[in-house]
Amino acid sequence: MRGAEYDSSERDPPPKCHPGTRKKIVECIQFWFRNLLRTNRLLWLVGPAGVGKSAIMQTLAEIEVERSMISTLFFSATQRRSDPHKVIATLAYRIAVHYPPYHKFLRSALAADPKLMEKSIKTQFSAFFVRPFVKLKIYTGSSPLIILIDGLDECEGKDEQLLFLALISYFTKFYPEAPLLWVVASRPEEHITTFLARRRLKSCHDKEEVSIDSTEACEDMEHYLRLEFKKIRASDPVIRTLFPHWPPENEFLKLLIAAVGHFAYGTTVIRFISQGDPISRLQLILDLINTAISSSGASTLRPMAQLDVLYEHLVSQVELEDRPGAKEILSFLHTKFSSFSISPDQNMAFTCNWLGMAPNVAYSALRQLHSVLNVPPPDEAIDTCVKIYHKSFSDFLCDPNRSGHSGFWLGTEEDRKRSHVSHALRVFQGIPSYNTGEPRLLPHREIILSWLYSDMTRKWKEQDQRRMWYLASSIGRVGLSLAGFPPPQVAHAVRLMDPRFLSGSSLQLIFNMAGSLGKLLQEDGTLRLIPAGMLKPEMIKYGFYYELVRPLTPYLLRH
């Protein structure tokens, strides 16, 4: 799974504990690693959104890599690191890179069964963990091999999440001598909590809870905020000279009370304050805190209410003319492209190309959202993605009850799917019509791109055109079964799609000679009825045929 390891450049800079914070919980888990009297080999690190679980897991990885053999996997739904079928391979790869005997075992296993990576998760788990570490006992290290899995609740599919928990739990229960220690971090989602509370599983794991209002959480947030305000004072000459004691203690304490336990809130506030006039921006934050308290009451304030008020303010600052572009980009980041059987590139340049958005329009649309988004500069946009700092912002955007009245609710997954079908049709509409009697072998070269390529990045242009063609073909194929799209546009797209993406139900729609799409394709010669005896090798080479009813009268779709 690309970008899922603790030291991947795609996660740079990764979330990690601020110096001096979360020391107790990190030390507690480190003690668990080395406690010879521990009774379980699975630790569940659990806590609500925004408390810093990923930062704790990142810090553990960076510390333990110097002491032990580790394998890590950091799920992220917003960065499309959520495919359950790539989990076992990702963990195995990391072990193989750093432990030669396992590398040798892996090569041998894949040589014996080349399709092993295509088999079920359960089969892969048995092949890559049970067989080498239990049956063959290939690990002879002096300390256990540590496996860290962060954000299990962001893995795609609740059934798959529970499957991983079941496999790990039963592995640790029935093979207690296996040299593996597992740490799995997640939110306390109901299905996960209920599953691990079962009598057979409750005794299979230890639990470390990251609470919001613990003494350590309060102390850590105070330490973090004081240090960050010290940095702001030092970097701002006006504050350093004229307001050396800013912020006043009463203002600091009000912010601390609102932020305590929620590092997602604290870090977002600090980024917001640092990106403008700090004094004015802190006052604005304090006003938002008062608004949240007055509207809900301090005693009934929801745990994420302060964060929601902050997010509402941030999205409200996006100019009216920039809002459509901002929502398009955010929608692209939140679409589950697995439903299209393809995973697109997410870099900023490709995002602009896919959305048909000029670079200046895209950067303008995101300029007010830098407190919640890490937006790459233009000179890094070819290979760097827009990243959401914290999943709580994604939760806000995808929940109509939280973001609906702000105008930034991204709609349902089905809404986003239809939007991307529209983009796929637009990509094909930009390619001019042609005489279908002549095969077009390289239609992707005529795809219009929005990004401006310099002399240094021009080599990426055709590659991005080809990626656009693949994505448009995959998504356009899904669009064939959706109502509401103009048949002429759909027919034009069919003529230009990569035929490898046309199969099954999409072919049945195309070859329905009585349907509107089939009629359009017949009228312009794209779809022709040819007796089987007249088929020539070159027809098969540049097209393909599909026998729908009568075996002697196949329909030929020209490409």
Q: Which helix (H) or strand (E) holds 539?
A: helix 537-542
Predicted confidence at residue 496, as pLDDT, reads: 80
Spatial contact of 405 and 396, defined as CB atoms under 8 Å apart: no
Helices (H), 205-262: 215-235, 237-242, 249-259
Taking the C-alpha atoms of residue 221 and residue 249, their distance in angstroms, rounded to an integer, is: 15
Among 331, 473, 348, CA closest to 414? 331
Structure tokens given for 250: 């009463």
d(CA 263, CA 189): 19
- Cα separation, 512 vs 480, whole angstroms: 12
Residue 230 is encoded by which pair of tokens?
């010290």
- H-run or E-run covering 555: strand 555-558
Question: Tell me, what's the pLDDT at 439?
Answer: 46
In which residue ranges of the chain is pLDDT below 50?
299-300, 435-439, 541-559
Taking a C-beta distance cutoff of 8 angstroms, is the pair 55, 15 a contact? Answer: yes
| Chain centre to alpha carbon of residue 279 | 35
Q: Which residues contact 257 (CB under 8 A, 6 or more apart)?
A: none
Contact 270, 283 (CB under 8 A): no
Give kind and range of the element (H or E) at residue 42.
strand 42-46
Q: Is the separation of the CB atoms in 282 and 247 below 8 Å? A: yes
Residues 553, 554, 557: CA angle, nearest 5 degrees:
140
Helical spans, DSSP H, in 317-439: 323-334, 348-355, 359-366, 391-398, 400-403, 413-429
Residue 507 to residue 481: CA distance in whole angstroms: 11
- Report whether 397 contacts 408 (CB < 8 A): yes
Structure confidence at residue 269 (pLDDT): 94
Give the count of beta carbons closer than 10 Å to the beta carbon of residue 238: 11
User: Which is nearest to 26 in space by CA: 65, 66, 55, 69?
Assistant: 55
Q: Are 519 and 490 in contact (CB under 8 A)?
A: no
Contact 88, 2 (CB under 8 A): no
Task: Out of 3.40.50.300, 3.40.50.2300, 3.40.50.10440, 3.20.20.140, select the CATH number for domain 9-209.
Answer: 3.40.50.300
Read off the tokens for 34: 């080395």
Alpha-carbon span 152 to 139, nearest angstrom: 26
Question: Residue 47: phi, psi to the nearest 5?
Answer: -175, 155
**Which sequence spans correspond to the domains of the chain?**
9-209, 215-311, 317-498
Residue closest to 494 by CA, chosen among 468, 520, 515, 513 = 520
Residue pair 202/62 in contact (Cβ under 8 Å)? The answer is no
**Which candidate, 443, 510, 490, 481, places its Cα nearest to that of 340?**
481
State the Cα–Cα distance between residues 478 and 318, nearest whole angstrom. 33
